[in-house]
Amino acid sequence: MIQQLQKLYEAFCGRLKSLSTQADILNLKAEYLGKKGEVSEVLKSLKDATPEERKSIGPVAQEIKDKILSDIQNALTALELKQINDSLARERLDITWRDAIKAEGNPTGGHHPRWLIQKEIEDIFLSMGFEVLDGPHIEDDFHNFEALNIPGDHPARDMQDTFWFSDYNPKTGQGHLLRTHTSTIQVRGMLNRKPPFRFIAPGLVFRCERTDASHEMVFTQLEGMMVGEDVSVAHLIYFMKTILKEIFKKEVEVRLRPGFFPFVEPGFELDIRCLICAGKGCSVCKQTGWVELLPCGMVHPNVLKAGGIDADKYNGFAFGLGLDRLVMMRYGIDDIRHLQSADLRFNQQFKTY
Amino acid sequence: MKLSLNWIQDFVQLPNLSPKELATRFTLGTAEVEEVIEEGLFWRSLRVAEVLSVNKHPEADKLNLVTFSLGDEQRQVVCGASNVRVGLKTVFAPTGVTLPIGLTLEPKKIRGVLSEGMLCSEEELALANESEGIIELPADAPVGQAMNEYWQKSSDIILDVDNKSLTHRPDLWGHLGLAREFAALFERPLNIPYSAEWMNKMQGLQNTEKSPMTIHMKGDSAGIGYFGLSVDGVQVTNSPNWMQERLTAVGLRPINSIVDISNYVMLELGIPLHIFDREKIQGDQVVIHELTEESSFRTLDEVERTLVPGDTVIADQRGPLVLAGIMGGLESGVSEATTKIFIEVANWKASRVRQTSTRLGLRTDSSQRYEKTLDSQLLERTLWRTLELVLKFNPNAKVVGRLEYDGVDLSNSKGLELQLNVDKARRTLGLSESQLSNQHIQTILERLDFRCSPEGHNLKVAVPSYRATKDIECEADLVEELGRVVGYDHVLPQAPSLPIAPTRLSLTQELHRKLRDFMVLHGEALEVMTYPLVGKKLLERALWPELDQLVLNNALSQDHNQMRPSLIPSLIEAVSKNAKHFDECTFFELGRRYLPSTKSFSEEENHLALVSYHHKKTPFLRVLNKAERLLRASNIPYDLALLNLAEGQPKERHSLVDWSWPGLHPYEVTSVRVMGKHQGLVFSLHPLVMRQFKIKGHVSVFLLNLAPIEARPLKDKTKYQPLAKFPGSFFDCTVVTDQTTAVQSILDALKPLKNMKELQRTQVVDVFLLNDSEKAVTLRTEFLDQEKTLSGEFLTAAQNQLVETLRVAGFPLKA
């Protein structure tokens, strides 16, 4: 009987293999396990068997019944999966047909590289307690020159090629102009605050200058100022080193040397150890190992006074940073004029935010 | 400005450092050295050679193998000169030397034979423009001697200092002043030969004869003080080699002994001067005065220049001789025939010299110095030094009369005295007392010619007159002197102790950041920045009504000569440029527009503009949807005003455009009202303006005036609604309407039902055309009651009411 059962199972397996539809499989199931199915018949015949026979055949019969059941189930599941996958194959998507390779309907967005750098630097200063200010582009000679210790006949006015508006009077040097530096915001910042305070002021500045690959008549600067009691050159160096480390993501060696700017005294040029050659000397640093990066200094007492601050009690430092130069350094941009060209072949290269 | 270290060494013994080290110290302590030039150093490597043998080159007919002696050794070179012969003494340049013609000799094989250098021609040593054969030295030339010794050629190191870093230092425009800096930086004594005794000796050369030339300075002129001295018996020749070499080394061309002296003294003492041929001056007086009428003047450089009223000249009876402080005239200059001279050493008002020189575009060594504000106290010394050199070169020349002067009284000028709080100075620099002691402070200042006397905690500091003209005026200026001489590299970075307080961006900055991020992430737009300066041509092309507002006086080009009254024209131009490369594009700008104002000259507003271009289909709805989403996400309170400009313009003005601007599409236009006012606009560009810019396709724009939004905090008015506990019910119905009906108006037709609280919302599911004139619109309405499940009776009644309302409004159900 056991042999009969084994044979029966083998025959079942053989038949199951050849079936490929759900109906055929269900029919096969009925043929074996249905009321009149072959296995059922065998089981039924058990009641005529001796108790010993029952004891030995029973479990085997049950086992074969279970096996058939699970084989059927597995076959059905496999069949269903195949059917689903077949239909997926029919509806198969070309997953390489991405926006990125489309000529049309390829939406893209990205910040202007200038803003990427400005935001990064704003955030570094914010984290160190500096406010972020801005002011008008159209200024008067007081905010751009007078209050910054650059009186009418000062040679420094020659250094600044200023765009003047029609109310300019060359005799008095008065009139409206496009700000030549963000230092104008220093003046406004001081007039609106009481020490101690510290702020930065990024923004557009304007110079009456012929444009070429490295010169623009409109460009961005970032001005910074800190005023309080006993502010020192040591503090200035600390902040400059810190900010440069954050910008360049590595320790940057700096040096200060005398530089003349009417609104600071002492005034400095801050050089950084050349990042290209690490100070060995290359074409970028003109073989000196140092690259001039930013002007800075201790705020001139006359400037503090013009800003309504008691210059005997308070002092401060100020610095200016050419943002566009950093942008060009960061991305290796070869022509500053691209920044304001609105040529999307340029802009679309900047996809980050 | 170029400075010669040989010249500096007239006044101070420099330490034994390399040129680069000297330059670095000067850069860190005084002013930036842009370049270190080693002048004539090659002479030291060149040596006298005697030819020992001449043999034909094995592989070249015209070349010889020449063996020669340098005394202690023999060398061989390949030489092509025809005059090479045994016994000839000539000049040998070994490999490694850079010759003045720029050639650096490298060891190389010439047709297989190694050449160890070169026998030089005059041409190769820049001694002649062309030469035949190699140099032939006299037979007694000592073999092996270095050429700098044999020919007594000097070498020098020239530092080229950035002029900009000297703008505030009139005292550094001469070698004596520069030497003082080296003396202070390297703590060396400064030797000034021009002592009081020397001055006495020079003054003693005046005599009682009547001065052949006197001076009259008119009060309105740019003159401050004017010294003049007449000298007879001068012979104009070439100046001696040493003077020519120094002048050449710092970039001046030697001319003749008298002109060279005037240049030399200027470069030594920093004060410009002028020497006249006295016989070319008409009359016996020079008059310094301001011109009252326009006149023409031929300057030394042989250019005819137009002088205007206000320019100061030195004139004789005939007219101008010299343009004060800038340049002499061609007529009165010294020539080879000159024997009688008049030496002028004067001081002029800096701003006046600057005005004239800027106007004429004539910046000379002289004007460059005067515009820095020079010290009148130095004039007399300069004149005596000039005389000293004139007499040195012309031992037979003699002074005629006395030193003449006109101008302000120089004898009673009160010097500037400042108080220096030494503790404060150290605190400001961030230096400790051990780094900068009181004694050190005093030493530094005294080396720089300041005179110090202690006064309590302070130091009373007398400023030398030549530093007080503009440069040093307050305590901070003294702090700088200390800092730079000590060296800022001694200052260690230190974080300040400050109270902790929250720092936030301003509301405006927060808003700008949000808008930018939205535009990039959701607007799928590229950020651009365009010039705030535009030209009239662009505005006209855009048919923009506001022209020639806020025009610049001195624009560089007509394309950028006025402030933009709107972002629109620049952005249309950007579309026209980009349409050449892209079938579609979307970009935004957050920038300012500028308007004239009677109150404050000008007003600036921040505007946001999103621009979308598509070559085939209008991007209007896409832009409108982005705009609405942005307004909602930024919590900007707004409502949309649908417009139909074909039917007329709204009465209220728009803050961004003139309604009559022809660039507005008659139908694709929607105004955004913020707090009841038209502050934003979504529109497509009218084909008329598109044509102006040769743009084919469609351009839609969203423009938003940020000014009214920036100032106020934008509140997040989101209010949470508990989720419904009871199921709602959806009801779809399809109505028929005219093809031209706006779908919004169908929804608006349901306004009468706004009091039915169970009616949650009605939205449009689908729109499809029925025929040429009609379309079907499927609406979906949700009914919901927060308190209970809606009954069938209620729903039937509500649905009927809805359908009836639509029907009454002219939107019957589709059959």
Q: What pLDDT sits at residue B124?
A: 87
Pair of tokens at residue B348? 């002029």
pLDDT at B312: 96
What average pLDDT does range B525-533 have in this prediction?
A: 97
How far, rounded to the nearest angstrom, does the alpha carbon of residue B567 sit from its chain's CA centroid?
Answer: 28
pLDDT band at A12 (very low <50, low <70, confident <90, very high): confident
Other Cβ atoms within 10 Å of B53 Cβ, number: 12
| Residues in contact with B676: Cβ distance below 8 Å, sequence separation at least 6, in sequence order | none
Q: What distance in Å separates residue A87's CA from the closest CA in chain B? A: 30
Concatenate the DSSP letters of all residues of B697-716 into one string. SEEEEEEEE-HHHHTS----
**Is a pLDDT exceeding 60 seen at residue B767?**
yes
Lowest mean pLDDT among A319-333, B147-161, B239-253: B147-161
- The burial of B606, by beta-carbon neighbours within 10 Å (0-12 exposed, 13-18 middle, 19 or more buried), is given as buried
Question: Residue range B494-510: average pLDDT?
Answer: 93
| A194 to chain B, closest Cα gap in Å | 14
d(CA B240, CA B813): 113
The average confidence (pLDDT) of chain B is 93
Nearest CA-CA distance, residue A167 and chain B, Å: 8
Question: Which residues of chain B does A226 touch, with a Cβ-Cβ cutoff of 8 Å?
Answer: 496
Res A156: pLDDT = 62
d(C-alpha B256, C-alpha B273), whole Å: 15
- Whole-angstrom distance, CA of residue B321 vs CA of residue B312: 11
Nearest to B674 by CA among B633, B705, B643: B705
- A165: helix, strand or coil: strand
pLDDT given for residue A326 in this prediction: 92
**ipTM of this complex:** 0.88
Residue of B nearest to A233 (CA): B429
- Long-range CB contact pairs, B411-414, < 8 A, 24+: B413/B376, B413/B377, B413/B465
pLDDT(B185) > 70: yes
Residues 6+ apart with CB under 8 A from B201: none
Q: What is the pLDDT of residue B712?
A: 82
Contact B354 A301 (CB under 8 A): no
Q: Do B493 and A238 touch (CB under 8 A)?
A: yes
pLDDT of A28 above 90: no
Q: Please indicate if any CB of chain A lies within 8 Å of the CB of B505.
A: yes
Of B513, B525, B531, the CB nearest to A218: B531
* Residue given tokens 């779908």 in the structure block: B743
Main-chain dihedrals φ then ψ at residue A73, nearest 5 degrees: -60, -45
B787 touches B799 (CB < 8 A): no
pLDDT tens, residue by residue, A42-82: 777 777 778 887 787 778 888 888 888 899 999 999 999 99
DSSP-derived pairing of the beta strands B47-57 and B60-69: antiparallel
Q: Which of A131, A161, A165, A339 to mutate to test the interface with B (most CBs of B within 10 A)?
A: A165
Output the average pLDDT for chain A.
90
Beta strands in B147-284 (DSSP E): 156-161, 214-217, 223-232, 274-277
How far is residue B249's CA from residue B244's CA, in Å, rounded to a whole number?
A: 8
Q: What pLDDT is recorded for position A50?
A: 81
**Minimum distance, in Å, between the CA of residue B748 and any CA atom of chain A:** 33
Output the CA–CA distances (angstroms, integers) from residue B15 to B6, B36, B154, B246, B593, in the order listed: 13, 17, 19, 21, 60
The pair of structure tokens assigned to B200 is 């006495």
The span from the CA of B590 to the CA of B511, in Å, is 11
pLDDT (tens digit per residue) in B21-40: 999 999 999 999 999 988 87
Tell the residue number behind the tokens 């970009």, with chain if given: B587
- With bands split at pLDDT 50, 70 and 90, how would you rate the model's confidence at A123? very high
Residues with Cβ within 8 Å of residue B554, at least 6 apart in sequence: A162, A163, A164, A208
Q: State yes or no: cis peptide before A266, omega within 30 of 0.
A: yes
CB contact under 8 A, A153 and B592: no
Probe site for chain A from B28, B162, B168 (most A CB atoms < 10 A): B168
For A275-304, write each residue's pLDDT tens digit: 888 888 888 888 888 999 999 999 999 999
| Structure confidence at residue B220 as a pLDDT band (50, 70, 90) | confident
Annotate B723-737 with DSSP letters as a single string: PPSS--EEEEEEEEE
Q: What is the mean pLDDT of residues A209-237?
A: 94
Find chain A residues with C-beta within 8 A of B27's C-beta.
Answer: 257
Instruction: Give the number of other Cβ atoms within 10 Å of residue B714's Cβ.
Output: 15
Distance from C-alpha of B372 to C-alpha of B367, rounded to nearest angstrom? 9
SS3 call for A88 = helix
SS3 A93: coil
- Model confidence at A158, pLDDT cuts 50, 70, 90, reads low
CA–CA distance, A221 with A201 (Å, rounded to integer):
8
Contacts of A350 in chain B (CB under 8 A): 526
Res A159: pLDDT: 57
Question: Can the peptide bond before residue A196 be classed as cis, meaning omega within 30 degrees of 0?
Answer: yes
pLDDT, tens digit, for every residue of B775-812? Answer: 999 999 999 998 899 999 999 999 999 999 999 999 99
CA distance to partner chain A, nearest, from residue B399 (Å): 38
- The partner residue sitting opposite B501, judged by closest CB among A112, A129, A269, is A129
A160 pLDDT exceeds 70? no
> If you average pLDDT over residues B439-450, what whole number do you get?
96
Give me the pLDDT at residue B510, please.
93
Answer whether B629 touches A (CB < 8 Å). Answer: no
CB contacts of B169 in chain A (<8 Å) are 260
Residue tagged 């076959």 (tokens): A75
For residues B235-272, one letter each, b for 16 or more C-beta atoms within 10 angstroms of the residue's C-beta and e for the rest, the string is ebeebeeebbbbbebbebebbebbbbbbbbbbbbbbbb
Residue type, B94: P
| Least confident stretch, A3-7, A144-148, B626-630, B652-656 | A3-7
* CA-based radius of gyration for chain B: 43
Selected residue with higher pLDDT from B556 and B612: B612
Q: Does pTM top 0.80 for this prediction? A: yes
Question: Do A258 and B165 make contact, defined as CB atoms within 8 angstroms?
Answer: yes
**Strand blocks (E) in B598-697:** 601-614, 638-642, 664-674, 677-685
Q: Find residue B286's DSSP bridge partners.
A: B215
| pLDDT greater than 80 at residue A21 | yes
The better pLDDT of the pair B38, B260 is held by B260
* pLDDT at position A58: 79
B812 CA to chain A: closest CA distance, Å?
38
Q: Looking up tokens 């000569």, which residue turns up?
A: B561
- Say whether residue B28 is in contact with chain A using an 8 A CB cutoff: yes
Query: Does position B273 have pLDDT exceeding 60, yes or no?
Result: yes
Q: Provide the 3-class DSSP secondary structure of residue B103.
A: coil
Quick check: B363 contacting A, CB < 8 Å?
Answer: no
**Stretch B585-611: mean pLDDT, rounded?**
96
Q: What length is written for chain A?
A: 353
Q: What is the pLDDT of residue A155?
A: 62
Checking if the pLDDT of B368 tops 90, the result is yes
Instruction: Check whether B434 has a pLDDT greater than 90.
Output: yes
pLDDT single digits (tens) B5-23: 999 999 999 999 989 999 9
CA-wise closest residue to B178 among B21, B326, B34, B6: B6
Examine the pLDDT at B56 and tell me if it is beyond 70.
yes
Tens digits of residue pLDDT in B111-152: 777 888 899 998 888 888 888 889 999 999 999 999 888 888
Residues B141, B89: contact at Cβ < 8 Å?
Answer: yes
Q: Is residue B502 predicted with pLDDT exceeding 90?
A: yes
pLDDT tens-digit series, residues B538-565: 999 999 999 999 999 989 899 999 999 9
The DSSP code for A228 is E
Determine the pLDDT at residue A286. 81
- Cβ–Cβ under 8 Å, residues B358 and B371: no
Return the pLDDT at B607.
Answer: 98
- B55 pLDDT exceeds 80? yes
Of B222-231, B330-339, B574-583, the least confident: B330-339
Nearest to B620 by CA among B551, B668, B577, B568: B668
